Structure 1
Amino acid sequence: MSLPLVVRRLGRQPYEPVLAAMRAFADSRDDTTEDEFWVLEHEPVFTLGQAGKPEHVLAPGDIPVIRVERGGQVTYHGPGQIVGYPLINLRRLGIGVRELVDRIEQAIIDTLEHWNIVAMRRSGAPGVYVADAKIGALGLRIRRGSSFHGLALNVAMDLEPFRRINPCGFQGLQVTQVLDLGGPGSLAAVEDKLLDELCRQFGFTPRPAVAELPPAAASVAATHAA
């Protein structure tokens, strides 16, 4: 059975108002709420996950560091990187957290395959890798049976800020991006394929994309941004 998926293409956004909106959506949803996928770029920010250790933030400089409730360690978000927030009711889909992670990772792997980029998982290190370099990161949280936070896929960005941290808590971990591996530098092109692959993994039918947050979440975001 195919389920609807509300797709919100939000463009470039500061991190904290979107975080507040996502939390508000997660707190207010119930079993009748349709699943959503928010896709966007963030202004430069380091986020430190629930298990994050401050010592993995080496030299943030003028980039803010924000501690959040997602799983994982420290990562960087910035322009040229796709950030996707799958706000999915796992109970309705009949899947657990491990399967959620596996399907998101597979969607990224299959997306990259469109440009003959061979990507893979690594045991004990969630995310997606090309050779020894990380290209896609995951950090999720489950609340009342539904997911929030999500994934980041490097497309065509300044990778220098990753040298200011131990990415995902691994000293010396290399990072890479789609453009450097022969793929497109267009976020829209990669977003389209990523959305297709996510829908295929989860059996969703996407609704026509909208470019704004849900009204209640938008109100929370506006208050937070003020």
Structure 2
Amino acid sequence: MDKPIVKNLGLQDYLYTYDMMHQFTQSRHQSTADEIWLVEHPAVYTQGKVGKAEHLLQQTTIPVIQTDRGGQITYHAPGQQIMYILLDLKRLKIGIRDTVTFLENSVIRTLADYQVLAATQANAPGVYVNGKKICSLGLHINHGCTLHGLALNVDLDLTPFNYINPCGYQGLQMTRLNDYVENINHNEVRQLLAQYFIAQLPLTP
């Protein structure tokens, strides 16, 4: 089985990317190569499919978009590295729990390269540094194929997280990589995330 195709899409409108993800998934067939999309979005709140309106604590000028991913409300903006994974799990013979673990591990290993110690928390998907959330996860499965992925805070302004209960957790504090590391190379972060994620997939040599 071949490695996923990695695409660096730069800064893209959220809804445009959302639509493209769904078009890709709906049109793929048994031999379609998996893809990983590395992207950033202009400022936007996204709400999970079971997201509760009360987790938006106050109205702002930032748009709120309903999605079909798992999880509650979160925030995206430039300076946050997003990695969308478009995988055929049936073909890879891996489950959703494995996929979530691979995503979390890719972040933990990337941060370790910057000497930042990160960890997961039981019953709270994502990655944390000293109890503060640095990466959010959300997936959707369609006919055994994944959409969405992870959002790693690199050097974005965290202020808009104050206007929501991030991922549905009241009082959850957020953090970002540049709280611990100076002069971050965004391209390096992108490459490490994709590299560490792909290294965990059960690909045939």
Report runs of 4+ in structure 1 exceeding 6 Å deviation: none
Asked whether the 8 Å contact 1:59–1:164 carries over to 2, the reply is yes
Q: Once the two structures are superposed, what CA deviation does each residue of 1:147-184 show, in whole Å capped at 9, x if it has no partner?
A: 00111000011111111100000011000011111254
Letter in 2 for 1:116: Q
Counterpart of 2:20? Answer: 21
Q: CA 1:151–1:172 in 2, change beyond 3 Å: closer, same or farther?
A: same
Paired positions, count: 204
Counterpart of 2:131? Answer: 132
Q: Tell me how far apart the structure 1 counterparts of residues 186 and 45 of structure 2 sit (CA, whole Å).
A: 20
Q: Secondary structure at the match of 1:85?
A: strand
Q: Once the two structures are superposed, what CA deviation does each residue of 1:102-123 show, in whole Å capped at 9, x if it has no partner?
A: 1111111111100111100101
Counterpart of 1:31? Answer: 30
Counterpart of 2:66? Answer: 67
- Alignment RMSD, CA only? 1.3
Q: Tell me how far apart the structure 1 counterparts of residues 20 and 183 of structure 2 sit (CA, whole Å).
A: 30
Counterpart of 2:46? Answer: 47
Q: Tell me how far apart the structure 1 counterparts of residues 202 and 189 of structure 2 sit (CA, whole Å).
A: 20
Give yes or no for the alignment of 1:153 onto 2:148: no
Asked whether the 8 Å contact 1:178–1:184 carries over to 2, the reply is no
Q: CA 1:53–1:100 in 2, change beyond 3 Å: closer, same or farther?
A: same
Letter in 2 for 1:69: D
Q: Tell me how far apart the structure 2 counterparts of residues 43 and 203 of structure 1 sit (CA, whole Å).
A: 34
Q: Secondary structure at the match of 2:4?
A: strand
Letter in 2 for 1:90: L
Q: Tell me how far apart the structure 1 counterparts of residues 59 and 7 of structure 2 sit (CA, whole Å).
A: 30
Q: TM-score, with normalisation over the residues of structure 1?
A: 0.87
Q: Tell me how far apart the structure 1 counterparts of residues 84 and 158 of structure 2 sit (CA, whole Å).
A: 21
Asked whether the 8 Å contact 1:5–1:204 carries over to 2, the reply is no
Identity of aligned residues (%): 44
Letter in 1 for 2:96: V
Counterpart of 2:168? Answer: 169
Alignment of 1:48-197 (within 5 A): 48-182=47-181, 184-197=183-196
1:201 Cα offset (Å):
1.3
Q: Tell me how far apart the structure 1 counterparts of residues 147 and 203 of structure 2 sit (CA, whole Å).
A: 17
What are the ranges of 5 or more consecutive residues in structure 2 without an aligned counterpart?
none
Higher deviation after alignment, 41-50 or 174-183: 174-183
Structure showing greater relative contact order (alpha-carbon pairs closer than 8 Å, 6 or more residues apart): 1
Letter in 2 for 1:143: N
Letter in 1 for 2:177: V
Q: Tell me how far apart the structure 2 counterparts of residues 183 and 134 of structure 1 sit (CA, whole Å).
A: 19
Q: Secondary structure at the match of 1:103?
A: helix
Q: Tell me how far apart the structure 2 counterparts of residues 195 and 64 of structure 1 sit (CA, whole Å).
A: 28
Q: Tell me how far apart the structure 2 counterparts of residues 132 and 184 of structure 1 sit (CA, whole Å).
A: 24
1:185 Cα offset (Å):
2.7
1:204 Cα offset (Å):
5.7
Q: Tell me how far apart the structure 1 counterparts of residues 29 and 58 of structure 2 sit (CA, whole Å).
A: 41
Higher deviation after alignment, 22-31 or 183-192: 183-192
